[in-house]
Structure 1
Amino acid sequence: MKYKDTILAGIFVNILMKLICFILLQLNVFSSGINKHIQSFRSAKGQEGIQVSVSIRSLNSGEQVYAHASEINLPPASTLKLVTTATALEYLGPTYKFETMIYSNGRVSSGKILGDLLIEGIGDPSLGSNRFKNNPFEQVLQSLKDNEIQTIEGQIRVLNNDTARFPLGWLVGDIGNYYGAFASPFNFHENLYTVYFNGGTKIGEPAGIASIKPFDPAWKIKNHVTTGPAGSGDQVNILNLPFSNEILMIGSVPLNAKNFAIKGAIPNVNKIFTDSLSSYLRQNGISVNNKIYPENLQNEELGSILSPDVFEISKETNFRSVNIFADGLANFMWDAEAPDYDTFLKDFWKEKGVDLSTHRFIDGSGLSPMNTLSTQNLSLILFKMKDQNRFLQTIPIAGKEGTVSSVAVNTGGKISMKSGSISGCRNYAGYFTSNLGKKYAFSIFVNGFHSDHSKAVRTFLEEFFVKMIAIKE
């Protein structure tokens, strides 16, 4: 019996060793193919200095099954939004709603507020956004009707919104543009306005402003935008600091363009909101008389404005890469817990077994080029979130949805991912199902390339995604 047992054990060990060798061979073949693809890309003329970092992690074991320079710190760009939304869904919960309070500054008598109507925000980044059905003006109107108020004798004022919350690590050239709109305790309409330009009939001619919506007559706009070649697209940059009415517009719009839309960041969102709300209330039978009252009259709660839930905000954040949503979520979370978002995020994920101590987080959106993250830690966070179905639903399917609808179209909908790009960076992160049906988290950062290499980078990434889902494990 002992002899037979020895023979059987030997056969079993032999089969096991062959199986292990087969698996290792398959992984080596996969790794070799990906490595050759990366080496071929980086060996092309002028592309030697481009950095490529990759982490692919099994959702079954949590182990990295492929890594290429996965430990280095690089700017994550908008893939950082995955970290911010994952944190918000875990910390706040998917059903959490922001509540913007409505008060009267003065007593209510005979259908009148004998004072001001006060609006106090706590950081809702989605208030007044056209992406949701929630209309804050309707909610204010309903609160007034519920309290049988027909007249506001004083003014409409926004409380506690005089703190600039934009990170000092942002580039000055970003702040005046919509994608650089900073999130405050009170936000409205994603803090954006739209400028409509008409291009000239000759290249180099001045481009005129047809209209601006919404608009504050106090803005002092210097329009230096000119006419560029036909089909040149949006080459306009808007420069201004928060709370400043000095706005400089430079760059170009296409030849013969009509009502060419450019988005800017509202520098004084309180004024835009109160003017818009006053107009809406008057149109709906509420008088706003703008009399001057003392600011320290007794406040009376009249109601509140509720936001969409955090899941809905997170989904829009990742599907459409909305910076102000990500930064608003980040600011709200760290404000009461830590001195900054960097500290908050590191403490939060440390408790979940992810060490982010070597990284730097300037914001929640990824706009700052000073943010740093490694692909291996990003894939680890994604692994930690693999069972959170609400988080998985916030990530668009490549080739079909969101900002990745035109990316990886040849992968059959097997990849869900978030894109990220700032100057010289093209990044992606998310989840995929291999051709064999196994599931993985992944992250790939391509960093340090010139605009002349953009086409080569796109080609490299498209081929990478096809190779990635072919993993055999």
Structure 2
Amino acid sequence: MKINLIACILFILFYLPAFWQVFPQSSIQEKLDKILSNSFFESTLAAVDVYDLTGKEIIYQKNNRYLLHPASNMKILTSAAGLVFLGPDYNFETTFYYKGDIDDGVLDGDLYVVGGFDPAFSIQDLDYFIDAIDSLGIKKIKGNIFADVSRMDTMYWGEGWMWDDDPSTDSPYLSSLNINYNSVEVFLLGTEPGRKAQIILNPYSKYFNVYNEAVTVSPDEDNSYSITRDWMNKKNTVVAKGKVKKGRMITGDEEPQSLNVFRPDLYFLTLFKETLQRKGIKVEGKSDNFWLPYDAIYLRTISRPFAEIIIPLDKKSINLIAEMVLYALAEKYYGKPATAKNGIKVINNFISLIGMSPEKYNLVDGSGLSHYNLVSAELILEVLKYMYYSEPGLYKVLVESFPIAGVDGTLAKRMNGTSAENNVKAKTGTITGVSALSGYITSQSGRLIAFSILIENFARGTSTARNFQDEICKILVEY
């Protein structure tokens, strides 16, 4: 009798861990099934793939091979391919040269700037080059300022981008030479009732014309206004209309209204010329595009490593950065001029590298803005698995670039105050009718989980789709 009792105890102790492993997994599957059986999904598609990286086992799969739009989850592929094929130390550069003789503070020649796909170059960076010009004693430039943008093709938008998304900064105009994310901030300030409101541009530049029909009204009236750009005619004319309360600065959800800028290369040159003039350096010539002469003299370079720009790429989901990574991939492996199609070839090579078949999917851009992109939750999950298992060093760079639930980036205001807060590091994705969330979860038991949730085909349910994603994450944290 004692022997049987001891045997039963040993049996229970030996198999109890297995029982505990099976039970929570089946319980989680039931909970996820219940979420995805909601009436919302009667007309909306959901694809889910979840994998326990610690235990090396599938946790949950539903429609994981369906081809759906990734939205900004496309940036996971772009980021991962960039880390593997460019490396975190790859530099995105902007380089300045000059040609001509310098005599008595006068450059009898031209300045040249060569765009090297740096998406994060800012107007403040111009000071670094102007210091170099000043160190040569130059106070006057008799020639021109030229931009060499020959390292990429002339396609200023991605394939399948929506024409009526213009002038949103989510649809930036593309160039190998970029500045201020190829955008301008617009503020609208109420003055005196009956008078026009004041338009303030940041940065201020004569590159923009202003058409102002915004009128100041008394403080007890409601604000009713619009700020846009004459995008239909491809003009950089800022247009403001409507009513603005006296003494109130309208900034759209308490932030500046940002607009994309047409011809960012010329925008760069204009800001450069204006900054030179503010610093007391006169420029007599014009600003235009031209190839860098073979005998131009090197001046200075500003470079930014991929490990630096991948942070805003994924945390803030900046489309311009993703597209510049795509072009950098294209140039490195297929030469100049870089094209989006050649960049996609490199990403397809990455898909082959992780053991998947690129011919099963359709990719056209680096950011996921195009509705032409078609991927599966399975593919995204395999990317996440590959980076964790096969590229542990690069995995750390990738996961640290993802938004953290309830903390920062595009997840700063999601899952706050829940068990998922600070335990979900994932890339969001949103375009019309599409919501995506994929990344990594640290569960309460210490397990690391990779997951991908793609939801699409809803008319007005973005917040609802996100709520379902958040609920799934909270359940997985309990695993």
**What TM-score do you get using the length of structure 1 for normalisation?**
0.82
The structure-2 alpha-carbon separation of the partners of 1:233 and 1:302, relative to structure 1 and needing over 3 Å to count, comes to farther
Aligned counterparts of 2:89 and 2:302: Cα–Cα separation in 1: 12
Structure 1 range deviating more: 266-275 or 71-80: 266-275
CA offset digits 1:317-373 (Å, max 9, x no partner): 111111111111112212353543332211123123343332222211111122122
1:324 aligned partner: 320
1:389 aligned partner: 396
Aligned counterparts of 1:207 and 1:107: Cα–Cα separation in 2: 49
2:267 aligned partner: 272
The SS at the match of 2:27 is helix
Amino acid at match of 2:235: N
Which residue, out of 262, 277, 281, partners 1:282? 277
Aligned counterparts of 2:109 and 2:131: Cα–Cα separation in 1: 19
Aligned pairs for 1:82-97 within 5 A:
82-97=76-91
**Structure 2 unaligned regions, length at least 5:** 1-8, 335-340
The SS at the match of 1:115 is strand
Residue 16 (structure 1) shift: 7.3
**Aligned residues of 2:244 and 2:250 also touching (Cα < 8 A):** no
In the alignment, is residue 447 of structure 1 matched against residue 456 of structure 2?
yes
In the alignment, is residue 70 of structure 1 matched against residue 61 of structure 2?
no
Aligned counterparts of 1:396 and 1:446: Cα–Cα separation in 2: 19
The structure-2 alpha-carbon separation of the partners of 1:210 and 1:68, relative to structure 1 and needing over 3 Å to count, comes to same
1:377 aligned partner: 379
Amino acid at match of 1:423: T
Amino acid at match of 1:266: V
Structure 1 range deviating more: 332-341 or 28-37: 332-341
Aligned pairs for 1:8-407 within 5 A:
20=18, 23-39=21-37, 41=38, 43-44=39-40, 47-60=41-54, 62-128=56-122, 135-160=124-149, 163-197=154-188, 210-214=199-203, 238=229, 240=231, 244-245=234-235, 258-260=249-251, 261-290=256-285, 299-338=295-334, 339-386=341-388, 387=392, 388-407=395-414
The SS at the match of 1:180 is coil
**Structure 1 unaligned regions, length at least 5:** 1-10, 130-134
The structure-2 alpha-carbon separation of the partners of 1:167 and 1:231, relative to structure 1 and needing over 3 Å to count, comes to farther
CA offset digits 1:98-126 (Å, max 9, x no partner): 22221113334454321111111121111
1:132 aligned partner: none
**Aligned residues of 1:97 and 1:306 also touching (Cα < 8 A):** no
**Aligned residues of 1:197 and 1:207 also touching (Cα < 8 A):** no
Aligned counterparts of 1:354 and 1:179: Cα–Cα separation in 2: 30
The SS at the match of 2:296 is strand
Which residue, out of 449, 472, 477, partners 1:464? 472
Residue 290 (structure 1) shift: 2.4
Alpha-carbon RMSD across the aligned residues, in angstroms, is 3.9
Amino acid at match of 2:365: D
The structure-2 alpha-carbon separation of the partners of 1:142 and 1:455, relative to structure 1 and needing over 3 Å to count, comes to closer
Residue 55 (structure 1) shift: 1.1
**Aligned residues of 1:59 and 1:383 also touching (Cα < 8 A):** yes
Aligned counterparts of 1:233 and 1:90: Cα–Cα separation in 2: 49
In the alignment, is residue 426 of structure 1 matched against residue 435 of structure 2?
yes
Amino acid at match of 1:98: F
The structure-2 alpha-carbon separation of the partners of 1:27 and 1:210, relative to structure 1 and needing over 3 Å to count, comes to same
The structure-2 alpha-carbon separation of the partners of 1:297 and 1:380, relative to structure 1 and needing over 3 Å to count, comes to closer
Aligned counterparts of 2:361 and 2:66: Cα–Cα separation in 1: 10
Q: How many residues get paired? A: 450
**Aligned residues of 1:136 and 1:305 also touching (Cα < 8 A):** no
Residue 457 (structure 1) shift: 2.9
Amino acid at match of 2:36: I
Aligned counterparts of 2:61 and 2:225: Cα–Cα separation in 1: 37
CA offset digits 1:154-200 (Å, max 9, x no partner): 12221236823311310001242211113311111110012334689
The structure-2 alpha-carbon separation of the partners of 1:275 and 1:18, relative to structure 1 and needing over 3 Å to count, comes to closer
Residue 221 (structure 1) shift: 6.5
**Aligned residues of 1:195 and 1:209 also touching (Cα < 8 A):** no
Structure 1 range deviating more: 210-219 or 340-349: 210-219
Q: Percent identity?
A: 22
Aligned counterparts of 1:108 and 1:318: Cα–Cα separation in 2: 45
Residue 408 (structure 1) shift: 1.5
The structure-2 alpha-carbon separation of the partners of 1:272 and 1:291, relative to structure 1 and needing over 3 Å to count, comes to closer
The structure-2 alpha-carbon separation of the partners of 1:221 and 1:439, relative to structure 1 and needing over 3 Å to count, comes to same
Amino acid at match of 2:442: T
**Aligned residues of 1:198 and 1:207 also touching (Cα < 8 A):** no
CA offset digits 1:127-180 (Å, max 9, x no partner): 117xxxxx3212212322444433322122212368233113100012422111
**Aligned residues of 1:426 and 1:447 also touching (Cα < 8 A):** yes
Residue 209 (structure 1) shift: 6.6
